[in-house]
Amino acid sequence: MNSYPFGSQVPKSFPAYPRSEFDLESGTAIKRTRKPKNSTFHPFRMIRSFGNRLHHFLKIHPLMGLLLVLSLVVTLFMVFSLFGTPYGVQSGYVKAEMGFDDYPFAKLHNLVMVAGHSVYTSSSCGKIEKEDSWFLESYQKNPGQAATFVAHIHEGIEIVAQDDSALLLFSGGETRRDAGPRSEAQSYWAVADTKGWFGKEESVKWRALTEEHARDSFENLLFSVCRFRELTGTYPQNITVVGYDFKEKRFAHLHRSAIGFPESRFFYAGTPATSNAKAAALKGEELVRTQFQRDPYGCKGSLYNKKLKRDPFHRSIPYPNGCPEIEGLFKYCGPTPYPGELPWS
C-alpha cells in the first residue's frame, strides 16, 4: 500500500482545482460562479464623468474645443435648413412637390373667370336681385345694379356648362370694411348655389371654386391664373373673362398684354350695365384705362393706393406660392410688358 505524506501532492485520480469544488459522486469539478459587479446603470455619473473629461480636454486644447463647437453649430444649421419647414422647400415656395395626379382638377384645361364687383350681405338668400342685399359703393347704387351681378354669375355658369374641360373661378377679395370679412368671390359662389346653379348644378358645381384675394381687375386675372395652377397643376390653355361689356378693352388688351397671354386664346364675355348708369360707367372706365396704360401692373400711384384701400382687413396674399413659374411676373413693376419668360408664351 502506498502511503502519501499528509499535505504533499494530490493523488492523480483527484486533480487539483484551485478555484473549484469537486463533486465526489460525479467525479467532476464544479466551477464557482463569480458574483458580478454591481451593473446598475448610472446615467448621471456617466454624464458627470464625461463632463469632467471634456472640461479637462478643453483646458488642455482650447483651440480644438472651439473647432468642435463650430462644427456642431454648422451641422445643426444644415439640418434645420433641410428639415426646418414642413416640406424642406426652397425659394419661398411652400407647397410640397406634387405629382400630376395629386391635383384635384388636373383634367381641366380652360379657365373661366367671373370678376366680382360687390359683396352679398343679406341674411335672406331670397333677395339676391335686390340692391339692399349687397354692399354697394355710391356709384353702384342704381336700380337694377344687383341684377347685373347675378347676370355675370349666370353667364359664367352657362359658359362652363358648355365646356367639359373648363374650371369656373369667382374672383374677388374682402374689399369692403363695412361688409365684414366676406369676399366677393364667396358671395358670388353662394348666390350661384342659392340659384341652383341655374339648372346646371350637376355639371358645374363640382368645378366651380373661388379666388379670394384680388383687389382690382388686373389681380382678378393674374390671381385667377395662379389659382388655376394651384388646382390643376398646369396653366390654362384658354382664358375666358366674364364682366361688364364696357370693360372688355381693359381686360382683353391691357391686362392680357400685361401678363403676356396669347390673344388667340383669350376671350371676353360681356354683359351690359344698367341703362341709367351706362354713361357714368363709360366715363369712369376711360379714366381707369388711362391709369392702367401708364401703370399696367397697378403697382404705384393711384392704382396702388386704391388696392390698399380695398384690403381693409390686411389679408396676406399667398401668391405666387402656388405658381412659382411666374414669380417674376408677380414682382415686376414697370411701364412696359414683363420681359421674362412665361409658361404660355
**Whole-angstrom distance, CA of residue 84 vs CA of residue 77:** 10
Give the closest residue to 184 by CA, choosing from 229, 223, 134.
134
pLDDT of residue 102: 85
Spatial contact of 320 and 310, defined as CB atoms under 8 Å apart: no
pLDDT of residue 95: 46
Same domain, 215 and 83: no
> Is residue 17 one of the residues assigned to a domain?
no
- Provide the pairing of β-strand 266-271 with 119-120: unpaired
Q: Say which CATH number the domain at 244 has.
A: 3.40.50.620
Spatial contact of 229 and 323, defined as CB atoms under 8 Å apart: yes
Domain count, the chain: 2
> Is residue 19 one of the residues assigned to a domain?
no
Give the closest residue to 244 by CA, choosing from 199, 280, 213.
280
> Is residue 197 one of the residues assigned to a domain?
yes
> Is residue 119 one of the residues assigned to a domain?
yes
> Is residue 4 one of the residues assigned to a domain?
no
Last-in-domain residue among 37, 68, 88: 88
Cell of 76: 445643426
**Whole-angstrom distance, CA of residue 7 vs CA of residue 23:** 21
Q: What is the DSSP string of 247-279?
A: GHHIIIIIIHHHTT--GGGEEEEEEPPPGGGHH
pTM beyond 0.75: no
Q: How far is CA 148 from the centre of its chain?
A: 33
Alpha helices in the chain (DSSP H): 43-60, 62-83, 145-161, 184-194, 201-204, 217-232, 248-249, 256-258, 278-294, 301-309, 327-331
pLDDT of residue 283: 94
Same domain, 201 and 279: yes
- Per-residue pLDDT 10s for the chain (345 aa) are 444 443 444 444 434 444 444 443 444 444 444 545 555 556 566 667 666 776 666 667 677 767 776 777 666 666 555 544 333 333 343 444 555 568 999 999 999 999 999 999 987 767 899 999 999 998 999 999 999 999 999 999 999 999 999 999 999 999 999 999 999 999 999 999 999 999 999 999 999 999 999 999 999 999 999 999 999 999 999 999 999 999 999 999 999 999 999 999 999 999 999 988 899 999 999 999 999 999 999 999 999 999 999 999 999 999 999 999 999 999 999 999 999 999 998
Last-in-domain residue among 88, 109, 143: 88
CA atoms within 13 A on the CB side of 296: 21
Same domain, 158 and 79: no
Same domain, 277 and 232: yes
Handedness of CA 9, 14, 18, 21 (dihedral sign): negative
Q: How far is CA 187 from the centre of its chain?
A: 22
Sequence-distant (6+) residues with CB within 8 A of 43 are: none
Same domain, 160 and 198: yes
Same domain, 176 and 222: yes
Cell of 104: 384635384
> Is residue 172 one of the residues assigned to a domain?
yes
Same domain, 165 and 255: yes
pLDDT of residue 28: 47
pLDDT of residue 127: 85
Which pairs with CB-CB distance under 8 Å and at least 24 residues apart come from 262-268? Answer: 262/344, 262/345, 265/237, 265/238, 265/239, 265/344, 266/238, 266/239, 266/240, 266/241, 267/238, 267/239, 267/240, 267/241, 268/240, 268/241, 268/243
> Is residue 113 one of the residues assigned to a domain?
yes
Provide the residue range defining the domain that includes 249: 100-331
pLDDT of residue 80: 54
Same domain, 205 and 105: yes
Same domain, 131 and 269: yes
Last-in-domain residue among 67, 88, 109: 88
Sequence-distant (6+) residues with CB within 8 A of 56 are: none
Same domain, 111 and 255: yes
Same domain, 80 and 123: no
Distances (CA, A) of 168 to 18, 39, 81, 226, 228: 96, 72, 39, 13, 9
pLDDT of residue 205: 98
Same domain, 84 and 206: no
> Is residue 217 one of the residues assigned to a domain?
yes
